[in-house]
Structure 1
Amino acid sequence: MTLTTTGQLDPQAAGWLQSIADAGVPPLNEMPVADARATYLAVVAQCGLPAEEVVDIADRTAEGPHGEIPVRIYTPKGSGAFGVLIYFHGGGWVIGDREVVHGPCTLLANRAHAVVVSVDYRMGPEHPFPAAVDDAIAATQWVADHAAELNIDPERIAVAGDSAGGNLAAVVALNARDNGGPALIGQVLLYPATDFTRDTVSSRENGQGYFLTTELIAWFQEHYQADPTDWRASPLLAADVSGLPSAYIITAEFDPLRDEGEAYGERLRDAGVDVEIHRYDGQIHAFAANLAGVMDQGRAALEAVGAHLRKLYRLGWTPRLWE
């Protein structure tokens, strides 16, 4: 697929950026962490995708090596056993929670006709790297171990996430390959962070003026406290990316993370992994998972993900009897 660069902001993205400027909202990196978290929630509450009705939404906890991990489980219509999507929210491993992706998770459950498990992993600065990674891995294993209880098919597990959550989804896939599972059939990475060194054209050209700035990225990294050379922080630097599940990657033209997300996809493709990379022209970071209520391309991206997942789960389905 050819990845284009238009050089022109999408009108809705430009309008949203202007509205933030007009409202006088200070940069998140200039706030205390608690205030940044509250502001992020408020912005998503106003601009995020409204929730759809699903058959059941349940808040539960998964067992992890460091304590309980809150999860929210979305179950669609039907009798199952369903495919399952384990979703990790974005927010630089510092801000965000299940609420910021509540609307998208309802849409994905309905479009993919799958159970969605949204994971509230621990974050910095209270819980620095690799706490988020440990929780993401543990929650994925918990889902597989509780397949019958959750009415899901353990042979149709996929992972997904946006931004920092895309990073976690990629890391979970690498870990599952190397540590005996659970076997995954796909990974969906929305504008993922894949390289902490971030020496790319897009990071230099898009580091100011498009919401996710160079300074905000540095603020996130300071609080997350990860070693940039550790593959669990920079999956692009993993020694081997062969044998991974298929990847569906979304990037945005005016996102500082654009190039590293696409570079990860190309590295997977070179290693023989089935990869789709979709760049959304004129768009900015967070346009899909957090701003789809005010950006048509954001909703379109989520609809495309839902269609991709529905096809993926159908391809992975085989009849079986459940005890």
Structure 2
Amino acid sequence: MASLSESFEAGAARGMLGLPAAMLRIMAGKPVVRDGHTLDVQCQLLLKIMRLRGVQLGAGNVETQRHQMVAQSSTLAPRAHGRVEVRELVVAGGDDSLAARCYRPEDADGAAIVFYHGGGFVLGDLDSHDGVCRALADRARATVISIDYRRAPEHVAPAAARDAIAAFRDIAARADDFEIDARRIAVAGDSAGGNLAAVVAQQTKDDTIPPSAQLLLYPAVDFAEDKPSKDRLATGFFLEKTSMDWFEGHYLPEGCDKRDPMVSPLRGELAGVAPAIVITAGFDPLRDEGEAYGAALETAGVTTTSRREAGLLHGFANFAGGVERAREALDHAADALRARFDAIS
């Protein structure tokens, strides 16, 4: 439960970002342009607020960073429009059972989404993405099951990937128990979670019950090679090069093969994986590798919808309660996934 100070901060942030456009521009400053894209003014003001508060992603003590991510995510978390039933679950993991959380909207029709949260494989948990999962369940009219996979540095790669695969297989095998349709189970995730969703789609494509779709929000898909956006957008846009180095240093063990598809799904065998929806952000250092993954999927013959949200930042799903364009982007992603479910039913 949020503290009184955190609730006040959330209200203040939402109120400030909801000011008229002209006032937002005055407060945010001169427009920021990169690669022909103009940073959304609400995102620009949000970055300014973060800098004033000293928020820095991926630096210092792991536990402190984990707490800060949960607090920061709850500040501008998206909200469901309708009632969403929430309950705690236990599912199989790579070595042991895992906690999970199930979100079922009133108009659920059996379609389901197995969701993997972001956070660089180090941060993030069921609480940091609670709002995102509620909103996704509501918008996509689907049951969402969020997976509390093992995180680094306590558990380095490929522990998270093994958990992600095992959890999907367990849910698919017990679809009747979860009151979901085994033909319509998608995988989804943001950032590191997008990586895990892509890995699951590859590793389970020949299963009796494979994913029916994959939704990848600004995914990290390649540790082996830096794409140009990592340099062009290395500083100043929330996720920075130093952040990514910090996450990688915690997640990948010494001597790890960075081309292993279990950590870099861009290097995997893509033919035959589930239809994909790949959403990137124009001001995200991971933009180019996400778009390279979408292009590679298309080359492999996979039905793929790729969309660049030009004015947005990495992590925009967690800001969708206060940033209008982020809300619209999350709605578009949910609508695209819903269309995939409807094509199957």
1:197 to 220, 224, 229: 224
Give the aligned residue type for 1:94. Answer: V
SS in 2 for 1:280: strand
SS in 1 for 2:39: coil
Structure 2 counterparts to residues 83-102 of structure 1, below 5 A = 83-102=111-130
Give the aligned residue type for 1:167. Answer: N
Give the aligned residue type for 1:219. Answer: W
1:52–1:103 contact (8 Å) kept in structure 2: no
Aligned to 2:264: 234
TM-score (norm. length: structure 1): 0.92
TM-score (norm. length: structure 2): 0.86
Deviation per CA, 1:72-110: give whole Å up to 9, x if none.
001122474x01100100000000001122112112212
Deviation per CA, 1:135-180: give whole Å up to 9, x if none.
10011011111111111010111000000000000000000014x2
2:248 to 218, 221, 226: 221
CA distance in 1, matches of 2:308, 2:237: 16
1:242–1:271 contact (8 Å) kept in structure 2: yes
Structure 2 residue 212 is the aligned partner of structure 1 residue 182: no
CA distance in 2, matches of 1:79, 1:244: 25
Give the aligned residue type for 2:52. Answer: D
2:93–2:149 contact (8 Å) kept in structure 1: no
2:334 to 306, 314, 320: 306
1:75–1:114 contact (8 Å) kept in structure 2: yes
Give the aligned residue type for 1:194. Answer: V
1:54–1:74 contact (8 Å) kept in structure 2: no
Aligned to 1:246: 275
1:206–1:254 contact (8 Å) kept in structure 2: yes
Deviation per CA, 1:233-269: give whole Å up to 9, x if none.
111111x211111111110111000000000000000
SS in 2 for 1:277: strand
2:44 to 8, 14, 18: 14
CA distance in 1, matches of 2:243, 2:177: 41
Taking only the aligned residue pairs, the percentage that are identical comes to 40
Aligned to 2:300: 271
Cα RMSD over matched residues? 1.6
Shift of 1:5: 4.3
Aligned to 1:206: 233
Aligned to 1:34: 63
CA distance in 2, matches of 1:203, 1:34: 26
1:109 to 109, 118, 137: 137
Shift of 1:51: 4.8
Aligned to 1:63: 92
1:133 to 161, 169, 174: 161
Structure 2 residue 179 is the aligned partner of structure 1 residue 151: yes
Give the aligned residue type for 1:44. Answer: S
Q: Which has the higher contact order (CA 8 A, sep 6+)?
A: 1
Q: Where do 5+ consecutive residues of structure 1 fail to align?
A: 318-323
Shift of 1:29: 3.1
CA distance in 2, matches of 1:120, 1:145: 19
CA distance in 1, matches of 2:270, 2:232: 28
Give the aligned residue type for 1:28. Answer: L
Aligned to 1:320: none
Give the aligned residue type for 1:241. Answer: L
Q: Where do 5+ consecutive residues of structure 2 fail to align?
A: 1-33
CA distance in 2, matches of 1:66, 1:177: 21
Shift of 1:28: 3.5
Number of residues of Structure 1 aligned to a counterpart in Structure 2: 309
Give the aligned residue type for 1:234. Answer: S
Aligned to 2:72: 43
Shift of 1:47: 2.0
CA distance in 2, matches of 1:129, 1:39: 23
2:108–2:141 contact (8 Å) kept in structure 1: no
SS in 2 for 1:197: coil
2:87–2:102 contact (8 Å) kept in structure 1: yes
CA distance in 2, matches of 1:305, 1:282: 16
Q: 1:254 to 1:311 in 2, by over 3 A?
A: same
Shift of 1:52: 4.8
CA distance in 2, matches of 1:281, 1:156: 30
1:253–1:279 contact (8 Å) kept in structure 2: yes
Shift of 1:214: 0.6
SS in 1 for 2:127: helix
